[in-house]
């Protein structure tokens, strides 16, 4: 019970990584607020947690709007009494190069992926300080660590999340607030599953991950629950990569045959 007696908010909690993390947080003893723009999905996740003996509520939120995020924090305190963990996980993607991408799509991605992290911290940190501190976890991406083709807004937004995480951690560490990011590789969420319906895309992604498969939402939840818990009490300002060996693997592949010449 790594999160016993803690209260956690998970944005984008209605599906994918958010759903898996909400369920894992609940199994570890946390009361969980499932925050999502899609209320039907959030309610379904909350109902599943409650049916298995956990404690969860669903709250509708637009993570890019200040009033909506402030209301989410207020509702959490009103219903749960406190706030210990914020998992800012909601995100979106719009494909395109800088030439192709519509300005409105750029603004949408930046709002959902970056402004949401700023707003989450802005309204959650003062509440966390009332009970001695807390943990904020932001979903970044390996796309924030290198340049992906045809996804300029997503790559830029996730790079911003990583450095925003570092800056927030620096500002608030002495107050007992830890702030970290998780950088997933390709994870089998519903949008990715749709993309992987293309056999060529699936083959390329499998080859890119040295483990030889895509990641599962539960594997990101495992990292999130550790960062939320006191077991990571000396960890802040980090962007933890969970990518099945994608970044470790050179695109050049094997440069030389390691076997002695007489065995080749």
Catalytic residue ranges = 154
208 to 99, 185, 186, 187: CA distances (angstroms) = 27, 10, 9, 13
Task: Annotate 89-112 with b (16+ C-beta within 10 A) or e (fewer).
Answer: bbbbbbebeeeebeeebbebbbbb
Q: Distance (Å, rounded) from C-alpha 94 to C-alpha 105?
A: 6
The 3-state DSSP class for residue 151 equals: strand
Residue position matching structure tokens 């909400």: 22
Alpha carbon 75 to chain centroid distance? Answer: 22
Q: Distance (Å, rounded) from C-alpha 127 to C-alpha 77?
A: 8
Q: Distance (Å, rounded) from C-alpha 89 to C-alpha 8?
A: 12
Indicate the burial class of 84 (C-beta count within 10 angstroms; 0-12, 13-18, 19 or more). buried
Report the candidate in 182, 184, 185, 167 with the shortest Cα–Cα distance to residue 122: 167
Collect all residues with Cβ–Cβ distance below 8 Å to 256 and sequence separation of at least 6.
none
């Amino acid at each position: 019970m790594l999160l016993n007696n803690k209260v956690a908010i998970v944005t984008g909690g209605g599906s994918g990584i958010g759903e898996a993390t909400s369920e894992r947080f609940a199994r570890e003893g946390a009361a969980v607020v499932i925050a999502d723009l899609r209320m039907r999905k959030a309610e379904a996740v909350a109902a599943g947690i409650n049916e298995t003996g956990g404690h969860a509520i669903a709250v509708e939120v637009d993570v890019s709007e200040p009033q909506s995020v402030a209301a989410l924090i207020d509702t959490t305190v009103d219903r749960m009494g406190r706030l210990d963990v914020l998992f800012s996980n909601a995100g979106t993607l719009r494909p395109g190069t800088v030439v192709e991408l519509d300005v409105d799509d750029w603004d949408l991605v930046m709002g959902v992926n970056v402004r949401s992290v700023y707003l989450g911290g802005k309204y959650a940190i003062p509440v966390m300080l009332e009970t001695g501190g807390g943990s904020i976890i932001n979903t970044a991406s390996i796309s924030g660590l290198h340049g992906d083709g045809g996804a300029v807004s997503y790559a830029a937004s996730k790079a911003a999340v990583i450095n925003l995480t570092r800056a927030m951690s620096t500002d608030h560490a002495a107050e007992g607030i830890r702030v970290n990011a998780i950088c997933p590789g390709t994870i089998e969420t519903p949008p990715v599953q749709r993309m992987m319906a293309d056999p060529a895309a699936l083959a390329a992604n499998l080859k890119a991950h040295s483990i030889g498969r895509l990641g599962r939402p539960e594997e990101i939840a495992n990292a999130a629950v550790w960062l939320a818990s006191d077991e990571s009490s000396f960890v802040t300002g980090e962007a933890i990569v969970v990518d099945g060996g994608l970044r470790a693997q050179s695109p050049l592949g094997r440069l030389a045959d390691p076997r002695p010449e007489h065995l080749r």
